[in-house]
Amino acid sequence: MARVKYVDESSHPELIEEIKTVRAQRRGKLIPVYGLLLNSPELALSWMQFLNAVRWKIKLSSRLREMVILRVALLNKSEYVIDVHRKNFAESDGLNHAECEGLLKKKVPSGLFNMEELSVIAYVDQLTLKAHVEDDVFAAVKTHLSDRQIVELSVLIGAYNMHTRVMSSLRIDAEI
């Protein structure tokens, strides 16, 4: 059960325009993330704009993006993000069942991912768990990604660390 009350049209009719904006950009629903965040409407709308940019405007492949999100969610123990992304995005963005399962293990099984993907997984792990990336891990990513992609990868990891940690602290409920 969430630690703060969810906001919706009945509890906060004064936020109807903000709620309509969220629904329009989130599969037509007021998903739990925004039900919580709308306790601070300005933050909720800014959060949505930022995550939209992080998810949809970056030059990383959608497959790599979903790998990163699932991996961060595993490391931060965010069942909410794991469930949402497995159900709504992973398969359509190129991850099969075995690859999802592999990403959700502490030690990724060999043979599932190519060298670029393995270098990104190592980067995610270090940045998430240590808030620091060793030179050798950075160098491995640098052989596969452009400067722009490395910046976007780093921001994506940071954004989903923020996302998973805020949702965990508020004890978000699963989507229905």
The confidence band for 176, taking pLDDT boundaries of 50, 70 and 90, is: low
CA-nearest of 45, 49, 43, 99 to 74 is: 99
4: number of Cβ within 10 Å:
13
pLDDT exceeds 80 at position 162: yes
116-125: string of b/e by CB count within 10 Å (b at 16+)? ebebbbbbbb
DSSP letter string over 57-68?
SSSS-HHHHHHH
pLDDT tens figures, 82-137: 999 999 999 999 999 999 999 999 999 989 999 999 999 999 999 999 999 999 99
Residue 105's identity, in one-letter code, is K
pLDDT exceeds 90 at position 175: no
Rounded to two decimals, what is the model's pTM? Answer: 0.94
Answer whether 6's CB lies under 8 Å from 34's CB: no
Tokens 């405007």: give the residue.
57
pLDDT tens figures, 22-75: 999 988 999 999 999 999 999 999 999 999 999 899 999 999 999 999 999 999
